[in-house]
């Protein structure tokens, strides 16, 4: 769909906005505009109602209550607010933070700030070769001086799904708090019970067919006072996140949540997993030097296929596939200097293996025909690159 010339296989980078979401948002940029914080007139009251409805939809997705939802600009801000906010009000006897090795760069960077600027001891918890957290190492590192543990629900590069209920029980048994970056989770799993396990949770609109520029930090009831805001101002959102809430974006996020839960979402995940398996099978049947990085399908994002083309460079492959197929390495490269993925390195891959890996991610609008074409294009490209190497 989308663009006739390019097959989109990068749903974990961003999802296209669902047309039903666009339709819902449109009216709030039109006649139903308003500042949700204008308390003195009906236009403001209606705008506020729209924001509250959106927060309720998000809360329903994760099994929370409306007042536990704080809107942010995205998961990056939500993750920063969780780590920095909590650390700035931490009791003096809890000065350690544990962070899994495969967290998104925004969590790792915030954790570095805790260590370098706030004097926290930050410890990285290793993962196994499938990208699953080493639970023994986590347990070994826990003690009553730990303030916070950060483990994502679903990894953005290899799609590994962590056992959050088990981790939560472990973390809480030491009186520590659990923050879960769930940005990639809505398209991967049923989230209905997640809030009952975690203390803080981050979500992002553009990873679930909603708009970019909006996210959420779920803050468990009773924890609001333990967070210092990152942004000060008019005291909106319980003083935790000042600034006018972007009402149309909130409406979009709220609307998007309705299409990632329930029986239809379950069927969609199943269909996407089947397409992903066909894609991987097609590649592996025809080239014996193709490997899959990450876990088995049971504990993996249904749309994720992280594939290693040993002996080749992922960026050369991706370049050769332009403009026909959009996939990515999955590793952040904001500096313009490509680095081997910290996720794949943490799973034990060498630098060369990491640099030979591509993340293909499929989603709502992927068709069987696109899977077929994408597999054939990839095979043709790597065959011709291998030929040139001879
Ligand atoms: C796991 C995870 N966390 C956080 C983020 C950042 O999200 P946002 O773009 O909403 O800031 C991403 C986006 O790539 C992600 O995949």
Q: Is 141 exposed, middle or buried (0-12, 13-18, 19+ CB in 10 A)?
A: middle
| pLDDT (tens digit per residue) in 1-31 | 556 789 999 999 999 999 999 999 999 999 9
Active-site position among 187, 282, 296, 333:
333
359 lines ligand 1 (CB under 6 A): no
Distance CA 155, CA 2 (A): 25
| pLDDT (tens digit per residue) in 89-144 | 999 999 999 999 999 999 999 999 999 999 999 999 999 999 999 999 999 999 99
184 lines ligand 1 (CB under 6 A): yes
**Average pLDDT estimate for 146-154:** 98
Confidence of residue 333 (pLDDT cuts 50, 70, 90): low
Strand partners, 122: 97
Q: 198 CA to middle of ligand 1, Å? A: 18
Distance CA 110, CA 179 (A): 13
Q: Would you call 250 a catalytic residue per the annotation?
A: no
Q: What is the DSSP string of 288-312?
A: TTEEEES--GGGB-TTEEEEEETTS
Distance CA 161, CA 211 (A): 24
In a 13 Å sphere around the CA of 268, the CA atoms on its Cβ side amount to 18
0.85 surpassed by pTM: yes
96 lines ligand 1 (CB under 6 A): no
183 lines ligand 1 (CB under 6 A): yes
| pLDDT (tens digit per residue) in 51-66 | 999 999 999 999 999 9
Q: 41 CA to middle of ligand 1, Å? A: 36
| pLDDT (tens digit per residue) in 67-102 | 999 999 999 999 999 999 999 999 999 999 999 999
């Amino acid at each position: 769909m989308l663009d006739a010339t390019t097959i989109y296989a990068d749903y974990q980078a961003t999802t296209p906005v669902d047309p039903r979401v666009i339709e819902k948002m449109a009216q709030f940029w039109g006649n139903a505009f308003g500042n949700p914080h204008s308390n003195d007139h009906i236009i403001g009251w209606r705008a506020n109602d729209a924001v509250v409805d959106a927060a309720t939809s998000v809360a329903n997705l994760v099994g929370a209550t409306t007042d536990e939802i704080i809107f942010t600009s995205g998961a990056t801000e939500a993750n920063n607010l969780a780590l920095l906010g909590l650390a700035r009000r931490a009791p003096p006897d809890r000065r350690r933070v544990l962070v899994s090795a495969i967290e998104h760069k925004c969590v790792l960077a915030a954790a570095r700030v805790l260590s370098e600027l706030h004097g926290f001891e930050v410890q990285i918890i290793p993962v196994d070769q499938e990208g699953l957290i080493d639970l023994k190492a986590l347990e070994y590192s826990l003690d009553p001086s730990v303030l916070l543990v950060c483990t994502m629900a679903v990894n953005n590069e290899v799609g590994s799904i962590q056992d959050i209920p088990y981790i939560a029980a472990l973390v809480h048994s030491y009186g520590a708090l659990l923050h879960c970056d769930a940005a990639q989770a809505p398209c991967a799993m049923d989230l209905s019970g997640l809030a009952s396990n975690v203390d803080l949770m981050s979500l992002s609109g553009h990873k679930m067919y909603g708009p970019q520029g909006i996210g959420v930090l779920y803050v468990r009831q009773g924890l609001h006072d333990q967070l210092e805001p990152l942004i000060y101002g008019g005291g909106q959102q319980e003083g935790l996140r000042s600034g006018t809430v972007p009402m149309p974006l909130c409406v979009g996020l709220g609307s998007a949540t309705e299409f990632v839960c329930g029986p239809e979402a379950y069927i969609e995940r199943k269909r996407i997993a089947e397409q992903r398996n066909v894609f991987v099978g097609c590649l592996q049947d025809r080239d014996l030097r193709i490997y899959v990085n990450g876990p088995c399908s049971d504990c993996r994002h249904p749309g994720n296929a992280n594939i290693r083309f040993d002996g080749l460079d992922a960026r050369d492959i991706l370049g050769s596939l332009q403009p026909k197929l959009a996939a990515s390495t999955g590793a952040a490269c904001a500096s313009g200097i490509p680095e081997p993925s910290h996720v794949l390195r943490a799973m034990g891959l060498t630098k060369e293996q990491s640099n030979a890996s591509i993340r293909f991610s499929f989603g709502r609008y992927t068709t069987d025909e696109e899977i077929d074409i994408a597999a054939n294009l990839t095979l043709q490209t790597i065959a011709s690159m291998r030929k040139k190497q001879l």
